[in-house]
Amino acid sequence: MLDRVRKKEARLPVLKTYKLFIGGKFVRSESGRVSPARSNGQVLANFSRASRKDFRDAVTAARAALGGWSNASAYLRGQILYRAAEMLETRAGELEAELAHTARRKTRAREETSLTIDRLVHYAGWTDKFSQIFSAANLVASSHFNFTIPEPTGVVAVICPNEPPLLAPVSLVAPVILSGNTAVVLISATQPLPALTFAEIIATSDLPGGVINLLAGEPNELAVHLAGHMDVNAIVDASGDPKLGAILQEGGAVNVKRYFSRDLKPGSWRTEAAENPYWILDTVEMKTAWHPIGL
């Protein structure tokens, strides 16, 4: 009996290894690299660490998903995002536990989970409204109708801050994809687990594979590749790192990528500053159409 107890005490736990989320699938890094996720010196789990090849694969998946997602009706995109919020609601306890593991109090973890769900619902409601609000019928001196409407930019790279690890990624990605863009998201480098759990949740929602691709890794390692990739159309940078921002802007100038900085302090992500509908306009192109009047 004593031998059985000793064997039980000597058992080592099998830690979970979180994978990258690319093209609607969970994959290990092609480099084989795995890093430990720690909190207060304790190893909570392991996670795959993205390489340049993983980033390129994510861009390919995002580009492949762009046509179907951008051609879907605004109403359908809104329903899909709302369904994702429903999935988050049903698994709120799991998210709270994940956040609590990252050195958070339970009340704070519960607050961030609730705000994340509400934030996704907020942006889901803009999907079929932003075009009506930001479009325009232009008066011209010739015999034409002249309309200006927003259309998606394409593949958008998003760099998330380290804090908050769940609310910030959702607040950044939702205004990007609701207009029909697809996204490659580099999540928190120090607290990647909550966002990777979010990937497991949206994988079972109605969101098509490739619309959101989540990578865990070091921003300084991937920034050069991210900025220089010719099939990335825009960059949303919330890293808060001026040196990283300079690298992204310099590399993005090669194919004239749009670059936008989201310089918010950790506490500001919990306020209306992160619910700005004008963030939607940063990653759309305003297209003007002319139509003749009469014969």
What pLDDT is attached to residue 75? 95
DSSP bridge pairs for 156: 183, 234
Q: Is the pLDDT of residue 45 over 80?
A: yes
Q: Is the pLDDT of residue 34 over 80?
A: yes
Q: Is the pLDDT of residue 7 over 90?
A: no
What pLDDT is attached to residue 6? 56
Lowest mean pLDDT among 7-16, 23-32, 74-83: 7-16
What's the rounded mean pLDDT across residues 8-32?
86
DSSP bridge pairs for 269: none
Indicate the pLDDT class of residue 108, thresholds 50, 70 and 90: confident
Per DSSP, helices labelled H in the chain are: 2-9, 52-71, 74-90, 92-101, 106-124, 130-134, 167-177, 193-202, 219-228, 242-252, 278-282
What pLDDT is attached to residue 256? 87
What pLDDT is attached to residue 9? 64
How far, in Å, CA of 43 to CA of 64, rounded? 36
Indicate the pLDDT class of residue 137, thresholds 50, 70 and 90: confident
Angstrom distances, CA of residue 86 to CA of 91, 171, 186, 196, 277 = 9, 16, 24, 18, 22
Tens digit of pLDDT for each residue in 240-250? 999 999 999 99
How far, in Å, CA of 23 to CA of 211, rounded? 7
What domains are there in the chain, each with its CATH number?
21-37+45-292 (3.40.605.10)
8 Å CB contact between 149 and 113: no
pLDDT > 90: percent of the chain: 63
Report the run of H or E that residue 150 belongs to, with start and end.
strand 144-152
Q: Is the pLDDT of residue 186 over 90?
A: yes
Beta pairing, strands 17-18 & 42-48: parallel
How many Cα atoms occupy the beta-carbon half-sphere of 124 within 13 Å? 19
Q: Is the pLDDT of residue 138 over 80?
A: no
